[in-house]
């Protein structure tokens, strides 16, 4: 505890020094070496104050502030060569964070799995710190990037319909609340694009990942974004690890993270412009970021946790899972995705912008379980998935409001409808948190809304994100106000996030009862 | 003998020399249009004997109030309301100097202005094939507006704009910093191809690429916008928003949306940035105003939170007054009044009225004849002062803060493409 406190204190001191040193008037980014090196980034402190707890969860926290994260992000561009016919640049993205809640909240510290605490509080390996690092060669119509990269394929804000390349790291944030640099895991790859002069200004793009794999990272048990200890542990009054941690840690150990020739990934994309529509089509062949369980081993592995814990529950003693020696339980299977995007402005409809995205995942891996429950996995499955999203985006001049409050700035609204269909769905297909399907229902539909209003000459900005699942009747709403301090660098956010809707045991309900107030202070440079 | 030699050789030689010189003279930089007749100029010079070199502040602005928009007279008289330092807000009067156009622009004007063909509705029929100033002696407001639009900013230009949005009451500001690269596909006068880019299948008129550096959350956000030569066609624009790392198609039709945090709407760029045919224009006559036509923004001063820079040099200019009323009855502004420089056709002042006819804003362009990359001198906007008198809010733009505008530069052919937005800058 003492060690953690000192570490937290040191971190705060380092942040303060950085902020104070950078507090002088500066260009948007700092330039060095005659402008060849440019550094930008941000430091931010994010705090969530919980306004609701899941039943019994409160006992496992000393404080309602269950998330206090200091994060730093630096981005640098070094121009190695800049000439009329060729540019070579070296891009680097580095991040560091310190999540302080396990340091000041003894109960969080006690009930989190000990090997999770270190990985949660700060990056433990350089791979976590280095988000991107690539050399970019631009010569005429060719653009080649070699190195670790985050690639965005898609135009929608929050939804990842055609955006299939990089896995997510959801340990500390979610899309829409945090930047992509913070929640996407970079992949080492060679990415080449060619701007042709063919009709439609076609751009051809190719990605080759020779064998670097990163899994999707889920939040840790007992943390703000993760499942509460009392939902995961068989006997939650003891600080033993829960079943969620048992599964998640094995999943991470089984993931083929790092380099192996079998991890190769390949992607193509063509972008074009035809009939006033900007479109793209894509193909992606990769291992899934999320695993499926080996049906022959999953039950035994689960029993290694469950049996000692059932005994412990009966005897009212702390119990620990029995060491597993049966090899890999989780497998990351290869699948293929076809997809595309389109966007255009429809003039007769109030000049609104319309965006369409779709994907068709071929042989998407899954599991079958008794009554479609993950506790009764008995087989693997392969299904084709089709997802389509359509987004309407418009701006409105609202009488009085736009001039008096918006000081001339229109209200920006987007509404996105998303439908997903699982082909040949088996009634026992396990469709949980990621999919929002009801049991044995191949369809799921969501409607999400984004509203933005800049106010008082953009001194204040109000943003509302909301989402409603039509099939499960689940919803969340995230209103947030941002205040820009005078000057160039400081911003403060105050917001809230609320979750609600029908409960359904087959529907992922991971964020229910995580209603919170959000406070964030940012220094951007 | 000497007289005879002169008769035999001298006069013909002089004539031949003049003939040789004539094309060169014809191709020199000239003033097209006149601010003053000789009689008017004499009166101006007389007035200048009293005022040139003088600082105009709240103590003496009433004496020159006839030459300054009323709203700005009030702004100088009540400096404390506009975040001014103890010495107040002030201008410096300089002597009127005619402003020349570039050689290419003068040549194009001579070549194409006699060929202008008008449609019955007053629009130019051969709009895409001509360049220079189509109406050297405009007869109505629409012709003045066309002259304004044919200003091609030297065919291409690059400048970086330092633009604080200012709340003078609290002396606070929020900074925008953007770099523009602009290119004209038609109405070209400076660099080949002239007068238009031949391979222009989409019918592009003008394009600009914008790289944002500030506010910090917009760092490296980039966009480009294309205007078409078809007046009925809306602009196309694409945005690479760095925080989301996505390319977004943007609707450009909502031209009355304010530009982030400023008092400008999209139509206000350069004091008018839209298709000409969206408005009706009425030439109301001339008005002699003190205008910022030879201003070095680097010589101006300003403290944080001050709504108007101090030390702007202003000179007399007999501007065209044009009332501009949108054909859209629901347009944000009830009326714009343009005060147009008769030599450069840059809008030097504009007054804006709300839809109820109430005075709202007044903007002032600061211009300077700037050297171009091809050895010419082009009158160019180097700064703009924006004042919202209903809200008491200000803004400014300084195009010389980082470097002087680069005019008639080479612009890469692929600059205005989606592919370019995706490159690492």
How many CB atoms are located within 10 Å of the residue B366 CB? 27
Nearest to A515 by CA among A58, A45, A168: A58
Would you call A150 and B217 a contact, using CB atoms and an 8 Å cutoff? no
What token pair was written down for B335? 């009326």
Domain count for chain A, please give it. 1
What token pair was written down for A186? 């970079």
Beta carbons of B395 and B163 less than 8 angstroms apart: yes
Cα of B383 to nearest chain A Cα, Å: 19
What token pair was written down for A187? 């992949």
In a domain, B196, yes or no: yes
In a domain, B216, yes or no: yes
> Which residues, numbered 193 to 232 in chain B, qualify as contacts with chain A under a Cβ-Cβ cut-off of 8 Å?
213-217, 219-220
- State residue B244's pLDDT score: 74
> Measured between CB atoms, which of B170, B247, B419 is closest to A155?
B247
Q: Under DSSP, is residue A42 helix (H, G, I), strand (E, B) or coil?
A: strand
- Phi and psi at residue B177, to the nearest 5°: -140, 115
Mean pLDDT of the region A305-331? 90
Query: Which chain B residues touch A406 with a CB distance below 8 Å?
Result: 258
B137 touches chain A (CB under 8 A): no
> Measured between CB atoms, which of A155, A394, A407 is closest to B248?
A155
- State residue A154's pLDDT score: 82
Q: Using CA atoms, how far apart are residues A234 and A321, in angstroms rounded to an integer?
A: 11
Q: Using CA atoms, how far apart are residues A184 and A216, in angstroms rounded to an integer?
A: 9
Pair type for strands B279-291 and B246-250? unpaired
Q: Considering only the C-alpha atoms of chain A, give the largest distance between any 2 of them, rounded to a whole number of Å.
A: 77
User: E strands of A247-276, at which residues?
Assistant: 258-259, 265-274
- State residue B1's pLDDT score: 44
- The H helix count followed by the E strand count for chain B is 7, 16
> Which residues, numbered 340 to 379 in chain B, qualify as contacts with chain A under a Cβ-Cβ cut-off of 8 Å?
none
Cα of A90 to nearest chain B Cα, Å: 9
Query: Which chain A residues touch B257 with a CB distance below 8 Å?
Result: 395, 397, 408-410
A366 burial via Cβ count (<10 Å: 0-12, 13-18, 19+): buried
Rounded to 5°, angle at Cα A154 from A153 and A157: 130
Report CA dihedral (A330, A332, A338, A339) to the nearest 10 degrees: 70
> Measured between CB atoms, which of B245, B252, B254 is closest to A152?
B245
CATH number at residue B60: 2.50.20.10
The string of pLDDT tens digits covering residues A387-402 is 999 999 999 989 889 9
What token pair was written down for A284? 């992606």
Q: Using CA atoms, how far apart are residues B235 and A343, in angstroms rounded to an integer?
A: 15
The string of pLDDT tens digits covering residues A143-192 is 999 999 999 888 887 778 888 899 999 999 887 677 777 788 999 999 99
Cα of B99 to nearest chain A Cα, Å: 34
In a domain, B32, yes or no: no
DSSP state of B9: I
The fraction of chain A above a pLDDT of 70, given in percent, is 91
The string of pLDDT tens digits covering residues A439-471 is 778 888 999 999 999 999 888 999 999 989 888
Nearest to A120 by CA among A147, A104, A101, A94: A101
Beta carbons of A122 and A103 less than 8 angstroms apart: no
Query: Which chain A residues touch B174 with a CB distance below 8 Å?
Result: 457-459, 484, 486-488
A348 burial via Cβ count (<10 Å: 0-12, 13-18, 19+): exposed
**Contacts of the segment A32-36: beta carbons below 8 A, 24+ positions apart:** A33/A78, A35/A79, A36/A78, A36/A79, A36/A82
- State residue B11's pLDDT score: 45
Q: Taking CA atoms, what residue in B is nearest to A205?
A: B419
**Contacts of the segment A379-383: beta carbons below 8 A, 24+ positions apart:** A379/A295, A380/A292, A380/A294, A380/A295, A380/A333, A381/A426, A381/A429, A383/A422, A383/A423, A383/A424, A383/A425, A383/A429
In a domain, B307, yes or no: yes
Would you call B245 and A345 a contact, using CB atoms and an 8 Å cutoff? no
Q: Using CA atoms, how far apart are residues A271 and B148, in angstroms rounded to an integer?
A: 38
Phi-psi region of B132 (alpha: psi -120 to 50; beta: other; left: phi over 0): left
Would you call B167 and A459 a contact, using CB atoms and an 8 Å cutoff? yes
In a domain, B134, yes or no: yes
The string of pLDDT tens digits covering residues A232-264 is 888 888 888 888 899 999 999 999 988 999 999
Q: Taking CA atoms, what residue in A is nearest to B212?
A: A28
Would you call B254 and A42 a contact, using CB atoms and an 8 Å cutoff? no
The fraction of chain A above a pLDDT of 90, given in percent, is 49
Determine which of B217, B249, B302 to mutate to test the interface with A (most A C-beta atoms within 10 Å): B249
Q: Using CA atoms, how far apart are residues B75 and A417, in angstroms rounded to an integer?
A: 51
Pair type for strands B312-326 and B91-93? parallel
Cα of B265 to nearest chain A Cα, Å: 8
Cα of A485 to nearest chain B Cα, Å: 8
Nearest to B69 by CA among B379, B396, B362: B362
Distances (CA, A) of B150 to A204, A421, B135, B191, B381: 38, 55, 10, 15, 15
Identify whether B215 is preceded by a cis peptide bond (ω within 30 of 0).
Answer: yes
Q: Using CA atoms, how far apart are residues B424 and B220, in angstroms rounded to an integer?
A: 9
How sure is the predictor about A3, in pLDDT bands with cuts at 50, 70 and 90? Answer: very low
B155 touches chain A (CB under 8 A): no
- State residue A403's pLDDT score: 87
User: E strands of A51-186, at which residues?
Assistant: 65-82, 87-99, 130-139, 142-149
Would you call A458 and B260 a contact, using CB atoms and an 8 Å cutoff? yes
Query: Which chain A residues touch B173 with a CB distance below 8 Å?
Result: 486-487
Cα of B309 to nearest chain A Cα, Å: 18
Q: Using CA atoms, how far apart are residues A104 and A101, in angstroms rounded to an integer?
A: 5
Q: Under DSSP, is residue A245 helix (H, G, I), strand (E, B) or coil?
A: helix
Would you call B423 and A491 a contact, using CB atoms and an 8 Å cutoff? no
Would you call B419 and A28 a contact, using CB atoms and an 8 Å cutoff? no
Would you call B419 and A193 a contact, using CB atoms and an 8 Å cutoff? yes
Q: Range with the lowest mean pLDDT among A82-86, A222-226, A462-466?
A: A82-86
Residue whose pair of structure tokens reads 């070209």 in the numeric block: B188
Q: Is the pLDDT of residue A503 over 70?
A: no
Q: pTM of this prediction?
A: 0.84
Identify whether B193 is preceded by a cis peptide bond (ω within 30 of 0).
Answer: yes
Query: Which chain A residues touch B225 with a CB distance below 8 Å?
Result: none
Query: Which chain B residues touch A457 with a CB distance below 8 Å?
Result: 165, 167, 174, 261-263, 393
Convert B383-416 to b/e letters by CB count within 10 Å (16 or more is b).
Answer: bbbbbbbebebbbbbbbbbeebbbbbbebeeeeb
Would you call A345 and B251 a contact, using CB atoms and an 8 Å cutoff? yes
Domain hosting A148: range is: 2-524
Beta carbons of A89 and A127 less than 8 angstroms apart: no
CB pairs under 8 A between A and B: 146
How sure is the predictor about A140, in pLDDT bands with cuts at 50, 70 and 90? Answer: confident
ipTM of the modeled complex: 0.79
A82/B377: higher pLDDT: B377
Q: Under DSSP, is residue B103 helix (H, G, I), strand (E, B) or coil?
A: helix
> Measured between CB atoms, which of A193, A352, A407 is closest to B251?
A352
Identify whether B174 is preceded by a cis peptide bond (ω within 30 of 0).
Answer: no
Q: Using CA atoms, how far apart are residues A451 and B416, in angstroms rounded to an integer?
A: 29
- State residue A19's pLDDT score: 42
- In chain B (425 residues long), the average pLDDT of successive 10-residue segments reads 48 45 54 89 96 96 96 95 94 96 96 96 95 96 97 96 92 90 97 93 93 83 92 88 80 81 88 94 97 96 94 97 95 96 97 95 97 96 96 95 96 86 76
How sure is the predictor about A509, in pLDDT bands with cuts at 50, 70 and 90? Answer: low
> Measured between CB atoms, which of B217, B238, B253 is closest to A351?
B253
Indicate the length of chain A as a whole number: 525
Helix (H) or strand (E) holding A365: strand A352-369
In a domain, B16, yes or no: no
Q: Taking CA atoms, what residue in A is nearest to B262?
A: A457
CATH number at residue A397: 2.40.160.10
- State residue A487's pLDDT score: 79
Query: Which chain A residues touch B360 with a CB distance below 8 Å?
Result: none
Domain count for chain B, please give it. 1
Query: Which chain A residues touch B418 with a CB distance below 8 Å?
Result: 201, 203, 271, 273, 278
Q: Under DSSP, is residue B125 helix (H, G, I), strand (E, B) or coil?
A: coil
B124/A408: higher pLDDT: B124
B260/A369: higher pLDDT: A369
Based on its alpha-carbon atoms, the radius of gyration of chain A, rounded to whole angstroms, reads 24
- Phi and psi at residue A311, to the nearest 5°: -60, -45
Instruction: Write the secondary structure of A64-102 as one string of H (helix), E (strand) and C (coil).
Output: CEEEEEEEEEEEEEEEEEECCCCEEEEEEEEEEEEECHH
How sure is the predictor about A343, in pLDDT bands with cuts at 50, 70 and 90? Answer: very high
Query: Which chain A residues touch B217 with a CB distance below 8 Å?
Result: 491, 524
How sure is the predictor about A370, in pLDDT bands with cuts at 50, 70 and 90? Answer: confident
- State residue A53's pLDDT score: 87
- Phi and psi at residue A60, to the nearest 5°: -100, 20
Q: Using CA atoms, how far apart are residues B189 and B183, in angstroms rounded to an integer?
A: 12
Instruction: Give residues with Cβ within 8 angstroms of A231, minimum separation 6.
Output: A54, A57, A242, A244
Q: Using CA atoms, how far apart are residues B415 and B412, in angstroms rounded to an integer?
A: 6
Domain hosting B359: range is: 52-421
- State residue B259's pLDDT score: 83
**Contacts of the segment B388-392: beta carbons below 8 A, 24+ positions apart:** B388/B263, B388/B360, B388/B361, B389/B71, B389/B74, B389/B359, B389/B360, B389/B361, B389/B362, B390/B354, B390/B358, B390/B360, B390/B361, B391/A407, B391/B263, B392/B81, B392/B82, B392/B168, B392/B169
Q: Is the pLDDT of residue A479 over 90?
A: yes
């Amino acid at each position: 505890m003492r060690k953690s406190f000192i570490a937290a204190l040191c971190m705060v001191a380092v942040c303060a020094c950085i902020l104070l040193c950078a507090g002088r008037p500066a260009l948007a980014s700092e330039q060095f070496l005659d402008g060849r090196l440019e550094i930008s980034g941000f430091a931010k402190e994010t705090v969530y104050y919980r306004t609701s707890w899941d039943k019994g969860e409160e006992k496992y926290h000393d404080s309602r502030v269950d998330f206090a994260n200091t994060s730093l992000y630096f981005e640098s561009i070094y121009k190695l060569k800049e000439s009329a016919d060729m540019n070579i640049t070296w891009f680097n993205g580095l991040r560091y964070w310190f999540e302080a809640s396990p340091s000041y909240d003894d109960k969080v510290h006690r009930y989190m799995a000990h090997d999770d605490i270190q990985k949660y509080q700060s990056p433990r390996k350089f791979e976590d710190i280095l988000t991107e690092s690539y050399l970019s060669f631009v010569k005429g119509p060719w653009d080649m990037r070699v190195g670790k990269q985050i690639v965005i394929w898609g135009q929608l804000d929050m939804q990842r319909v055609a955006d299939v390349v990089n896995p997510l790291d959801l340990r500390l944030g979610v899309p829409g609340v945090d930047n992509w640099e913070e929640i996407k895991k970079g992949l080492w790859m060679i990415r080449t694009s060619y701007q042709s002069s063919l009709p439609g200004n076609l751009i051809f793009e190719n990605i080759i990942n020779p064998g670097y794999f990163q899994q999707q990272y889920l939040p840790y048990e007992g943390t703000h974004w993760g499942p509460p200890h009392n939902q995961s542990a068989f006997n939650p009054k003891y600080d033993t690890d829960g079943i969620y941690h048992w599964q998640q840690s094995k999943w991470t150990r089984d993931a083929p993270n790092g380099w192996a020739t079998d991890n190769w990934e390949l992607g193509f994309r063509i972008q074009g412009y035809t009939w006033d529509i900007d479109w793209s089509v894509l193909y992606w062949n990769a291992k899934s970021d999320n695993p499926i369980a080996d049906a022959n081993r999953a039950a035994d592995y689960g029993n290694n946790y469950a049996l000692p814990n059932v005994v412990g529950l009966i005897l009212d003693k702390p119990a620990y899972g029995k060491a597993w020696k049966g090899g890999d339980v989780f497998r990351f299977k290869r699948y293929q995705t076809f997809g595309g995007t389109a966007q255009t402005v429809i003039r007769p409809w109030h000049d609104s912008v319309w965006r369409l995205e779709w994907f068709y995942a071929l042989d998407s891996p899954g599991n079958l379980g008794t009554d479609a429950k993950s506790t009764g996995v008995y087989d693997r499955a392969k299904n084709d998935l089709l997802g389509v999203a359509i987004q309407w985006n418009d701006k409105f001049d609202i009488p009085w409001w736009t001039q008096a409050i918006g000081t001339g700035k229109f209200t920006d609204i987007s509404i996105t409808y998303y439908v997903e269909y699982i082909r040949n769905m088996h009634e026992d297909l396990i469709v949980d948190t990621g999919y929002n399907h009801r049991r044995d229902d191949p369809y799921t539909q969501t409607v999400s809304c984004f509203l933005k209003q800049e106010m008082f000459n953009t001194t204040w900005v109000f943003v509302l994100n909301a989402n409603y699942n039509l099939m499960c009747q689940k919803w969340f709403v995230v209103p947030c106000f941002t205040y820009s301090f005078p000057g160039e660098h400081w911003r403060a956010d105050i917001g809230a996030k609320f979750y609600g809707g029908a409960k359904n045991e087959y529907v992922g309900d991971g964020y229910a009862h995580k209603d919170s107030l959000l406070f964030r202070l940012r220094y951007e440079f | 003998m000497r007289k005879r030699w002169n008769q035999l050789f001298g006069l013909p030689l002089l004539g031949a020399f003049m003939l040789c010189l004539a094309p060169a003279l014809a191709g020199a930089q000239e003033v097209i249009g006149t601010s003053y007749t000789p009689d008017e100029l004499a009166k101006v010079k007389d007035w200048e004997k009293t005022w040139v070199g003088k600082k105009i502040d709240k103590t003496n602005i009433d004496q020159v109030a006839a030459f300054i928009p009323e709203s700005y007279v009030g702004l100088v008289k009540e400096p404390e309301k506009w975040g001014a330092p103890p010495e107040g807000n002030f201008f410096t009067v300089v002597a009127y100097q005619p402003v020349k156009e570039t050689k290419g622009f003068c040549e194009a004007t001579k070549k194409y202005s006699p060929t202008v063909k008008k449609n019955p509705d007053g629009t130019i029929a051969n709009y895409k094939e001509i360049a220079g100033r189509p109406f050297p002696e405009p007869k109505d407001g629409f012709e003045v507006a066309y002259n304004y639009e044919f200003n091609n900013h030297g065919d291409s230009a690059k400048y970086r704009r330092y633009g604080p949005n200012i709340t003078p009451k609290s002396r606070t500001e929020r900074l925008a910093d953007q770099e523009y690269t602009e290119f004209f596909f038609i109405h070209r006068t400076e660099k080949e191809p002239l007068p238009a880019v031949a391979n222009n299948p989409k019918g592009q008129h003008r394009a600009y690429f914008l790289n944002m550096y500030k506010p910090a959350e917009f760092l490296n956000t980039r966009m480009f916008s294309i205007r078409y030569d078809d007046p009925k066609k809306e602009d196309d624009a694409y945005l690479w928003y760095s925080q989301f790392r996505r390319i977004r198609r943007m609707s450009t039709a909502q031209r009355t949306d304010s530009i982030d945090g400023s008092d400008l709407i999209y139509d206000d760029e350069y004091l008018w940035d839209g298709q000409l045919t969206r408005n009706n224009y009425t030439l109301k006559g001339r008005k002699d105003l003190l205008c910022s036509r030879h201003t070095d923004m680097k010589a101006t001063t300003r403290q944080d939170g001050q709504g108007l820079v101090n030390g702007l040099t202003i000179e007399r200019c007999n501007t065209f007054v044009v009332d501009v009323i949108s054909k859209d009855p629901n347009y944000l502004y009830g009326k714009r009044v343009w005060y147009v420089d008769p030599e450069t056709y840059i809008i030097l002042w504009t007054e804006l009225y709300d839809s109820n006819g109430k005075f709202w804003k007044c903007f002032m362009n600061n211009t300077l004849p700037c050297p171009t990359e091809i050895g010419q001198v082009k009158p160019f906007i180097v700064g703009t002062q924006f004042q919202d008198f209903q809200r008491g809010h200000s803004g400014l733009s300084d195009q010389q803060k980082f470097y002087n505008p680069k005019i008639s530069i080479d612009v890469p052919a692929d600059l205005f493409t989606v592919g370019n937005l995706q490159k690492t800058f």
